[in-house]
Amino acid sequence: MQVLNPDELDKFAYDALDDTKTWEGVPERKIGTLVLNQAPDNYFESTEESAFAPSRLVPGIEPSEDRMLQGRLFAYADTQMYRLGANYQQLPVNCPVAGVNNEDQDGAMNTGARKGETNYEPSTLGEVAEDPKYKSVRLPLSGTTQQQAIHKTLNFAQAGDYYRSLSAQDKDDLITALGTDLGRVTNDANKYAMLSYFYKADSDYGRRLARAVHADPARVKDAAAKLQD
């Protein structure tokens, strides 16, 4: 994994929370190994009924303001509620190993076996003691908020870096794969717009792809020259 402090997010020529970007110059740390060594005995219980959501976080891990992640915090848990039912977190494949003690009760297919009377928190009955050490971090905020496109886009530089990092064989395969799909595009303006993006990322990339789809290389080059990174 790579780690940045929030105050380092602005030090790049691109928005570090734009997840079409890779973080350059940030060392990778190995934190463990995930070993996939078993297929489920019961496919339905272990796979169809499983529910992974980015909003299910253990204390100590919290989401960043990455806008894609923010959308996903809601979307997965919401769809799982429809897909599996209100108490899907009690299914064996989804429930924590530690016992859950949160005053939630009832709802379809509840197996929580709650005995108390409160189903809200905080409650003067205080059936469950809160531990303040599990509070989320205190996040300082300033400025304004609005739905807006990312400002520091740097749309083409990393795409070019990626292309140049590939082996000759991988470049060939990439051109073949992209060219097959792009060759089917009948809208000429769209096809040339796409070709200009590849050219802007790397001129060899754009030229080869233009050749693969029998496009006019001069038109591609002219369109690329008008693009801003």
Footprint on this chain of ligand HEM (rule: CB under 6 A): 19, 51, 68, 71-72, 75-76, 79-80, 83
Dist CA 166 CA 174 (whole Å) = 9
Nearest to 13 by CA among 157, 142, 197, 225: 157
Q: Least distance to ligand HEM from the beta carbon of 129, Å?
A: 32
Instruction: Tell the smallest beta-carbon distance from residue 63 to ligand HEM (Å).
Output: 12
Query: Smaller CB distance to ligand HEM: residue 71 or 183?
Result: 71
CA–CA–CA angle 174, 180, 183 (5° rounding) = 125
Q: Which is nearer to ligand HEM, 19 or 181 (CB)?
A: 19
Q: How far is the CB of 170 from ligand HEM (least distance, A)?
A: 22
**Distance of closest approach, residue 192 Cβ to ligand HEM, in angstroms:** 29
Nearer to ligand HEM, 26 or 51 (CB): 51
Nearer to ligand HEM among residue 56 and residue 207 (C-beta) = 56
In the bound complex, what is the minimum distance in angstroms from residue 88's beta carbon to ligand HEM? 9
Nearest to 112 by CA among 126, 121, 101: 101
For ligand HEM, which is the closer residue by CB, 9 or 73? 73
Cβ burial of 105 (10 Å; 0-12, 13-18, 19+) is: middle
* Closest by CA position to 128, among listed 144, 149, 112, 152: 112
Phi, psi of 14 (to 5 degrees): -130, 170
Q: How far apart are CA 12 and CA 19, in angstroms?
A: 13
106 vs 52: CA distance, rounded Å: 22
Q: Residue 19 or 172: which CB sits closer to ligand HEM?
A: 19
Q: What is the CA 24 to chain-centroid distance, rounded?
A: 18
Long-range interactions of 137-140: CB distance < 8 A, separation 24+ = 137/62
The nearest distance, CB 50 to ligand HEM, in angstroms, is 8
